[in-house]
Structure 1
Amino acid sequence: MEYVEIARTESERGELVLRERRPESGPASLELRANGVFVMDTLETSTEHALAESALAQVEDPRAVVVGGLGLGFTMHAVLADSRVEKVAVVEIEQALVDWMRDGTVPQGPALLADERVTVVVADIAVALAEAAPASYDLVLLDVDNGPGYLVHDTNAVLYREPFLEAARDVLRPGGVLAIWSAAEAPDLEETLGRVFDEAGAHRYDVLLQDREEEYWLYVARVPSTP
């Protein structure tokens, strides 16, 4: 296996690297790493699609959606594939990652960001939701980590605590949903969601990743359909 660095940047959160994996046989793929930790790649995207599709299935009319975390664009792409969606606000804290998507460093990036339904906001998701208008979205998808047990940055721990979850609740319309993807069962998160929302629960998904059986969790919290 050969690895070729495509792009690198440094921010206050550390190092972000985009590199290409070139196997001896088979297609090359891009891999995103933060501070040396694998985040995602373009080879195995089933979890990103599962997050979006499972979350969208929880909402009767998901016209306006927030995606927390741009990554390599696959969660956003799956959201845009739903014809019910009229606008998607993607909140990404790393400007360089947005730039790599826009300038074609990530090949599928320009086409995805050209969709007129997409608005990209370069900000901390906690700040963005705190500043958003109340009751303005039908669905908030949190895809900045693989759950509270697998933080990309330690500061992301605040995203699984009551103040942030309350901010997410406040931007949701009646019947709106907050969906959080987790690579492991997170009972503390489910308990916290239950204190903030009237309705919260966990859904387990069995996923086959490169011939490995993995177990993932989607934590869903819902605002009542009527006040």
Structure 2
Amino acid sequence: MSAPVTLDRREGPYGEVVLRRRGDHHEIIANGCFLMDTSDGRSERRLVDAAFETLTAATGPRSARTSEKRPIRPALLIGGLGVGFSLAHAAADSRWGAITVVEREAAIVDWHLTGPLSGISGPAVDDPRSVILRTDLLAHLRAVKHRYDALCLDIDNGPDWTVTEDNAGLYTLAGLALCRTALTSGGVLAIWSAQPSPEFEQALRNAGFSGVRTEEILVARGVPDVVHLAVSPA
């Protein structure tokens, strides 16, 4: 493998974040922890598709709570912009309506708006359905007044492997309760992880979600990635 070349390095309120290029691909490193790169992306795309499929299977054309038709194009919240695969994939799918991305690292947003990652996310950023919010996910969930039909979260390497200690609050009962409150009846929570976690599956059940399951995604190297899926109660 070629040696990485550092393109940008910044210190922020949550620590250090670095963008590197290795050959034809880019990597994001946060506080010395490898987060993701542009070499594959199948699991980030699957995160979005699995959420849509689960949403359709869970609710069908009508909401169990209101007996009204769910919006023709459901509203999606993506937690974590990363290298932009999830946003780009969602924006390429006309079935999604409003697409909101929450990203707290200003550097990552800049890399997409004016930097090397714009090649991945450029059309998605310009899509009129898309908006990027520069804020912390938990802060957004506490403040948001409307609800989403799906939450796709790719904040850490999984609930058992967080990038910063304060991220652990997202996977507690209190954090999961915020996710549940931000979802419509029958809405779907999908969380990317580098490894399965039976303990986290139980935490989702304890937080009041139903239909909890874990889907494996084969990747080019190493053990499969997974997506934890759960449905908000009616």
* Alignment deviations for residues 186-217 of structure 1 (CA, whole Å, 9 cap, x no partner): 122111111222414122314031xx352233
Runs of 4+ in 1 over 3 A off after TM superposition: none
Q: Cα distance 1:206–1:97, how it changes in 2: closer, same or farther (>3 A)?
A: closer
What residue is the counterpart of 2:16 in the other structure? Answer: 15
1:88 has 2:99 as partner: yes
- Is there any run of 5+ residues in structure 1 with no aligned partner, and where? 23-27
- Identify the structure with the greater strand proportion: 1
With normalisation by structure 2, the TM-score equals 0.87
1:38 has 2:34 as partner: yes
Higher relative contact order, structure no. (Cα contacts within 8 Å, ≥ 6 residues apart): 2
**SS across alignment from 1:178:** strand
With normalisation by structure 1, the TM-score equals 0.89
Shift of 1:167: 1.0
The two structures, once aligned, show a CA RMSD in angstroms of: 1.7
Shift of 1:110: 3.1
Q: Cα distance 1:143–1:206, how it changes in 2: closer, same or farther (>3 A)?
A: closer
Distance 2:43 2:202 in 1: 24
Between 68-77 and 3-12, the greater mean CA deviation after superposition: 3-12
What residue is the counterpart of 2:133 in the other structure? Answer: 121
* Alignment deviations for residues 2-29 of structure 1 (CA, whole Å, 9 cap, x no partner): 322111111122111111112xxxxx11
- Aligned with residue 76 of structure 2, among 53, 58, 65: 65
Aligned residue-pair number: 217
Shift of 1:75: 0.9
Between 114-123 and 35-44, the greater mean CA deviation after superposition: 35-44
* Alignment deviations for residues 16-60 of structure 1 (CA, whole Å, 9 cap, x no partner): 1111112xxxxx111111122211111121111121111221112
1:49 has 2:45 as partner: yes
Asked if the contact 1:180–1:218 (Cα under 8 Å) also holds between the matched residues in 2, the reply is yes
Which amino acid letter does the alignment assign opposite residue 195 of structure 1? N
**SS across alignment from 1:83:** coil
Distance 2:13 2:118 in 1: 26
1:145 has 2:145 as partner: no
- Aligned with residue 156 of structure 1, among 143, 167, 170: 167
- Is there any run of 5+ residues in structure 2 with no aligned partner, and where? 57-69
**SS across alignment from 1:145:** coil
Q: Percent identity?
A: 35
- Aligned with residue 220 of structure 1, among 189, 213, 229: 229
